[in-house]
Structures are given as C-alpha cells and as structure tokens.
Structure 1
Amino acid sequence: MTRLIKTRASDEVYTQNTKFVVYTERQLERIAPLQQLTAEQRFEMRVVANVLPFRVNQYVIDELIDWNNIPADPIFQLTFPQRGMLAPEDYDRMAEALMREAERSEIQAIANDIREKLNPHPAGQQEMNVPMLDGEPLPGMQHKYRETVLFFPSQGQVCHTYCTFCFRWAQFIGDKELRFASNEADSLHRYLAQHKEVTDLLITGGDPMVMKTHHLKGYLDGMMRPELDHVQTIRIGTKSLTFWPQRFVTDPDADELLALFTRLVRGGKHVALMAHFNHWREMETPIVREAIKRIQATGAVIRAQAPVVQHINDDPDVWARMWRTQVRLGIVPYYMFVERDTGAKRYFEVPLERTWQIYREAIQQVSGLARTARGPSMSAGPGKVEIQGIDVINGEKVFILRFIQGRNPDWVQRIFFAKYDPEATWFDDLVPAFGEEKFFFTDEYNAMQEQAGA
C-alpha cells in the first residue's frame, strides 16, 4: 500500500510504503526479488533461517537493498541469512533434515542443539545482571552498571526486521527461558524509586518502537513522578529509523508518540533515541530524513551506535561517511562496538587489530563533531572495554585497553595491557601482557560471578 504523504514538519511530498508487511522463514519464497537467486541459494537461506531468527519487511526490501548487488549488498547481508553464518557441520546437519522433510519436532531439536553452541547469552546477562525487588528477582530488567537500568517491555520483544548479527538473537527463537521481557510498569517504577544511584533508564528489546504508543506511555508517563526525579535520562534503544521510519511519520499513533517525547522533555527528562545505524545508506531515504526531523523537533536527541561487522561495514570509509552524515543530520555519533561473541560471530567477527585500525582511519577523516564516537568498545562481562591502541612497551607488543564502564565503578578509566594477538576477535581471547598471570580486576570479577552463580 502506498500513498502520497505531505508531512506537517516540512513541505516535502513523497510516495512511500505505509503498510507494514513482514516476512519470516516460512514466507521466504514469497519475497519476489529472491526469485532472481538460484534455488540452491534460496535453500541455503532456508537452512540458516531454521537456526537463526529471520524477519524482514517490505520497506527494507524495496528501499534499502540494491538487488543488482546481491549477495554483496551490505543491507542484504544485514537482513538475509547467509550460509557462512553456520559452521559447515551444523549447516550440513540441518540441510540434510530439511532435504528429507523431517518432522518439525526433529528440525526444532537440531536447531536447539546448534543454538546451544552459539553462546546465546553472552557476558553473564542471565545470571549477573538481574535486579531484586522485595527479595525477588525482576524478570525483564538488567542492572549491570550503577547508573543505568535496562528494561525489556514485553510488548517490545520483537523488531521490525532482524539484524543477522544481533547479539540478542536468542530472544527471537521462541524459547521463553532465553527471553528478557516484563510488562510490570509498577515493579519498574518501584525499583527505580528505591535506587537513587540510577540516573539513566534504557528501554530496550527487541525494539520498543514496535510497541503501540499507549503501551509505551504506561511505562514512561510514570517517570514524571517526583520520587523518580533522580532518573534524568530516558534512553530508547531502537533500529526503527532504519527498518521502519514510518513509526515516526505515518503510523496511526506517530503523532501521539512524538507528543510523549515532547511531554517528557518539557517535564525535565533528557530523552535520547539510541539509534542503530550500520551503514550510511540507512539514512538516505526521504522518509528517514523526515522521521529524524520530527523526533528532533520534540527536543529528543538521537545518538547512533553500531558494531564493526564483516560483510557490512568493515571499511573506514564507510564509517567516516556514516559519521559525517549523522553530524549533518544532527545525530550524535556515540559508539563503535566490537561484534559480540555470540550467534553468527564466525561470519561477522573482525580481528581486534583490524577493528582498531578501522576506527583510527575513520576518525582521522572526520571533524571534531564526529569524534564523539567512542571505541572500538567490547561489552564484555567485566564491563565496556575500549581498545585505545597497539604499541610496543618494554620490548613487548601489546593492546592498550581502558574501561569505559565497569561492574565496579573504580575500574572506569583504568588503563591495562593485553598481550598482542593478531587473531583475537573478542575480549576473552586476550591474556595479560608482561608475563602477568591475570588482569587487575580478575579476582574481583570472579568473586562477582561466584556470588551470582554464573
């Protein structure tokens, strides 16, 4: 369904899809542009989609993917399954089951077995970050860092489209034990009221922007109460500006959503939309430009973050252009992440040395306004660890590392060193430099894990 849109925020008129149409693994054959691929290529997608979650919508298909550049197109890689995402033996096992048309229960069992090997919940999420209220754990919340609470509203545990590299992929495969979700606004507000050290609430998912505005209001209107004055910032983690910018422009409750942002800002809260842009092309369509303007008109700030991922953006020129575009649009570059050690990491991971080089070469190409982007940052178990450089110290080649955030606030800004490893792709691959047996935080972190039963 298309219609002419003339927005109130500008005089621009354009034609755009306004009806949300989504496809999952079971509708792969209904995606018209895929018919240009061979039957073997489509079967490979189906094999991977039976293990890792797949979901894409018509806007992404029509507006973001260059179908003349398949399979190399970065947005295609971002949203469609690729054979290399599974280990060869796992791919073969699932392919064999599908070819002989095995029972659904057998296919599901094979998928679950493969998923167990993919580290579905990295960095101790399930054990170490769960807050307590009145002696009981609070499902759907995480409190890893002193100042910030993460909240997973139950109505937001899906996305308009799934990123193929997503580190929260385990939430989308139908296993309730692997999901974070809460529909308890009262518990959220009571917990925050009891924890005056919390200044930031991060609403995350899935994607909270799949929620209807009236659900979001149920969680956020209560943040205006005097007992929650200490919560200064409301962050909303979302990929909707890429995957469904219509949420802020043409959806039936788009104006109501923007009015909520305005009300929170006028009430003294800093509202930050934590946008996830992986490539500059995601910011090129007229409707995403309109969505950005409308959000900014409420007083909310848009910040942008993404990991370095092979096949999509492992190129300093892509990052430099992306950051320059963000600054031009009034978006604040926020983080460059390292791809996490979960899911299809074997397909997307980039060596830490190369990741740092990409950051360094990209940051050299932009002005100071774009150098707000921190990184490369690893959201590891102990905290957010930044790669500051590679150098030779006392005759030994080392990674220079720094805590941006830590489970113990005293770790923050601490510099430490790891032995250089050209094949390392994640924090857990690193060992201390200079012959030391352990990092300065190791004993304390191990004690935290033991206390949490991790």
Structure 2
Amino acid sequence: MHTPQYINDINKVPGLTGRDLEQLAPVMDTFEFRSNEYYLSLVNWDDPDDPIRRIIIPSVQELDQWGRLDASNEQSYSVLPGLQHKYVSTAVFLASDACGGFCRYCFRKRLFIHPEQREVLTDLDAACDYVRNHPEINNVLITGGDGLMLSTSRLEKIISRLRGIDHVKIIRIGTKLLSYSPYRVLNDQELLEMVKKYSLPDKRIYFMTHYTHPREMTDVSLEACDRLIKAGGILCNQTPMLRGVNDDPQVLGELFNRLSYMGVAPYYIFICRPTVGNKPYAVPVEEAFNVYQNARSMCSGLGKRAKLAMSHASGKIEALAMTDENIIFRYHRAADPDESGKVHICTRNPRAYWFDDYKEIVETYEQQEG
C-alpha cells in the first residue's frame, strides 16, 4: 500500500515557483510548514485561489498583526501538562504534538512556534488517575496535534487504560488524517482491530474528522472512513469556516450533504478563532451565519446537524438566529455549568469576528425548559 512522504521544507513543494518561495520566506521565519505528497497532489497549482492550497500553503497575510496565540485561553483549563478539563463531563488529552499537515488556520500553532513550552501529555498514569478521581467525566478526547499521529500501540495503551475506568463511556480521537493522509488507516489493519476491540455497543470510539472542503473526500479517503465505520467507529466532522475555502453556501452545502451521504455526522462549524496568523482565514460572525444558513437550506435534516459555534474561553457559544437589529447567541456548553443554555441577545455588528466584539448585549436570560 502506498505511503506518502512527508514534506517539512516548503522549498521542496514542487508546485511553488521561485517567486512564491521568495514571498513566503518571511512567513517561514515565524510559522512552520508541513504537508505530504498525497495532500499536495489535491492542489490545482494553476489556480492561485485553490481552496486546498489555502488550507496547507502559507499566505503572506499570516504576518498581519491580529489575535492571540491562545485565543480560547486553553492554558487556564490545564490541570496537568497535556490534560485539559474545561467542561464538566469532558477531559482532553493533548496526547500528540505532531500533525499530518500544519493547517494554516491552526488554533494551537503555539505548540509548534514554542515547542520548548511543551503542553503534550507525558504522564499517562497521572492523567488516568485524574480522570478516575472525577466520576463526572464520561468522555475523553485524545487529540493534540493529531490523535492518529500516535502509533497504534500508543493509542491502544491510552484507550485500554481509559476502558478500565467505568465512568468513561465515550472515547474520541481528534484527527485530520482522513483528509491529509488516509493511508494512515488503509495501511494499518492493527488500528482497525483495535477499534473493533474497544468500540463497544454501549461505549463507542468516535473519530472527530476534519473535512474542510468537499475535494478532500477522495476515493481513498472514503475507503478509510468506511473501514473505520465497519470496525465499529463512529465518525463526526467539525471544521472552521474559512475565507476562500468553504465560505460559499454551495461549497458548504455540498460538504454537509456529502458528509451525510458517507455516514459522517456534521457536528460543528466553528467561527475561526482569533489566533495569531489567522486573519486571512477568518470570516466575520454575521457573514458566517448567513453562509451557514444558506448552506443548510440545501440539505436534509441529516445534512444540517452541524451547529455554528465559537470555542470561546468561557465555552462553546452557538449562533442561533439574526434579526435586522440583533444576533442571538446561546451557550451550547459553558465552562461554568450554571451558564450552559444561557441566551445573549446582542446588537448586530457586521465587523465582529468573535463574541468579545459584541459590546452591546440587549438582553440576557436563562433558556426556559420546554
């Protein structure tokens, strides 16, 4: 089976011209690059605005001064190095500090800019003890980096330990390798056997995929998804809305539909976090809401399950509705459980990229139980 070679030196990308490399040199002084032969083969190099190119190839606009390195203040929820506990029932293991490719819009690029400030999980015993001592935790997300960049033996070690904790029912693996390098699944029968072993009828393993554009859904990628599903894995997709990639209702609607056709649940569409380097990929909240709503109108109920949300420092804030004057948000999940479900009605601001940009809150109230 084919194994694509990784490329860490942008000068070795065959589709870039000398002028391209000259322009991108200052960007490479600040931000890292990584891709592989397979994913780069999806780029139409004759189109400077190709969406796959925008996902993986740097832009000089990444140097625009904007945002913070830890836009969602993740470090404040770190209870151990590499272990976050922000929401009552969920623990996050930053188990990997490697990715199959460096998304240009990455919200954890701090891990690669300052590798000496390691946030990766190194003490599995301490992490499992923490989860064991917190019975309110019923699901654990293994991510990073990319959860599938871990070897299958390392993944199984983590998963087997978690399966020994009775109150952990859901194990999630966050990955973009189904898009970046589906051969990670196709070449590894042991991975599929591991999924069969630990994804049980009453407590499943979920793969949180990261399809951002329909062109990432190649035949080999669909085959990898199919094998995980047949092994007992549950697949859900989340992606940010990105300028020049999926900020078109036709593109986003096709993404939703194709996910539903292949049995992958559309889960979240995220507002691009205001992270350093992300300005060229960000879409204002209200524009994103209109794109999202128009895309959903093209889908069945199964295709329109994704929620439009911001991973704010205080919680996941869902954009619910807009009127001519107001936009309505709800805490889909809050770091403070008492805030979950709370609704905020704000005066519209077409220049807002983040919840913090809404200065005027017209009304706040607790959501009433129906």
Which TM bucket (shorter chain)? over 0.9
Residues 149-160 of structure 1 mapped to structure 2, 5 A cutoff: 149-153=91-95, 156-160=96-100
Matched to 1:331, the amino acid is V
The equivalent position to 1:166 in structure 2, one of 84, 92, 106, is 106
Q: Secondary structure at the match of 1:122?
A: coil
- Equivalent residue number for residue 354 of structure 2: 426
1:156-195 → structure 2 map (5 Å cutoff): 156-177=96-117, 179-195=118-134
Unaligned runs of 5+ residues in structure 2 are none
Q: Say which one has the larger Rg.
A: 1
Matched, 1:79 2:56: yes
Q: 2:321 aligns with which of 389, 392, 395?
A: 389
> Of residues 211, 220, 224 in structure 2, which corresponds to 1:277?
211
Superposed CA deviations along residues 297-356 of structure 1, whole A, max 9, x for unmatched, are 111111001011102111111111011111111111101110001022221111111000
Other-structure match for 1:307: 240
Partners of 1:372 and 1:267 in 2: CA distance = 23
In the superposition, relative to structure 1, how do residues 118 and 400 fare at CA in structure 2: closer, same or farther (>3 Å)? closer
Q: Name the aligned partner's letter for residue 185 of structure 1.
A: L
1:125 corresponds in structure 2 to: 74
| Residues 1:406 and 2:334 aligned together | yes
Superposed CA offset, 1:398-450 (max 9, x none): 2111110001222222211122111111111112333x7xx679xxxxxxxxx
Looking at both structures, which has the greater relative contact order when contacts are Cα pairs under 8 Å and sequence separation is at least 6? 2
Amino acid at match of 1:424: A
Which residue is equivalent to 2:19? Answer: 40
Q: Provide the C-alpha distance between the structure 1 equivalents of 2:256 and 2:159, rounded to a whole number of angstroms.
A: 30
Q: What number of residue pairs does the alignment pair up?
A: 366
- Residue 19 of structure 1: CA displacement? 2.7
Q: How far does residue 183 in structure 1 lie from its aligned partner after superposition? A: 2.2
Is the Cα–Cα contact under 8 Å of residues 224 and 267 in structure 1 kept in the other structure? no
Write out aligned runs for 1:280-359 (5 A).
Answer: 280-283=214-217, 285-359=218-292
1:160–1:243 contact (8 Å) kept in structure 2: yes
Distance 2:283 2:269 in 1: 13
Counterpart CA distance in 1 for 2:136 and 2:257 is: 35
8 Å contact 1:398–1:433 — kept in the other structure? no
Output the amino acid matched with 1:150: V
Match of 2:174 among 237, 242, 247: 237
Q: Which residue in 2 is equivalent to 1:202?
A: 141
Please list the CA deviations of residues 218-262 of structure 1 after superposition, one character each: whole Å capped at 9, or x if unmatched: 11111222xx11111000000000001001112xxx111111111
Q: CA deviation at 1:389?
A: 1.6
1:192 is displaced (CA, Å) by 1.0
- After TM superposition, give the deviation of residue 44 of structure 1 in Å: 1.5
One-letter code of the match for 2:290?
Answer: Q
Alignment TM-score, normalising by the size of structure 1: 0.78
Residues 185 and 218, structure 1, Cα contact 8 Å, conserved in 2 = no
Cα deviation for residue 174 of structure 1 reads 4.0
RMSD in angstroms over aligned alpha carbons?
1.7
Q: Which runs of 5+ in 1 are unaligned?
A: 6-17, 91-116, 132-137, 442-454
Tell me the residue number matched to 1:220. 159
Distance change (3 Å), C-alpha of 1:182 and 1:84: same
Number of the residue aligned with 2:82: 140
1: CA distance between counterparts of 2:60 and 2:6?
22
Residue 373 of structure 1 corresponds to which residue in structure 2? 306
Which amino acid in 2 is paired with 1:356? Answer: F
Q: Is the 8 A contact 1:48 1:81 kept in 2?
A: yes
For 2:158 and 2:124, the matched residues in 1 are separated by: 5
Alignment partners' CA distance in 2, 1:118 and 1:307: 16
Partner of 1:261: 195
With normalisation by structure 2, the TM-score equals: 0.95
Q: Secondary structure at the match of 1:369?
A: coil
Which structure carries more helix by proportion?
1
What is the percentage of aligned positions where both structures have the same residue?
A: 30
Q: What SS does structure 2 have at the residue aligned with 1:247?
A: helix
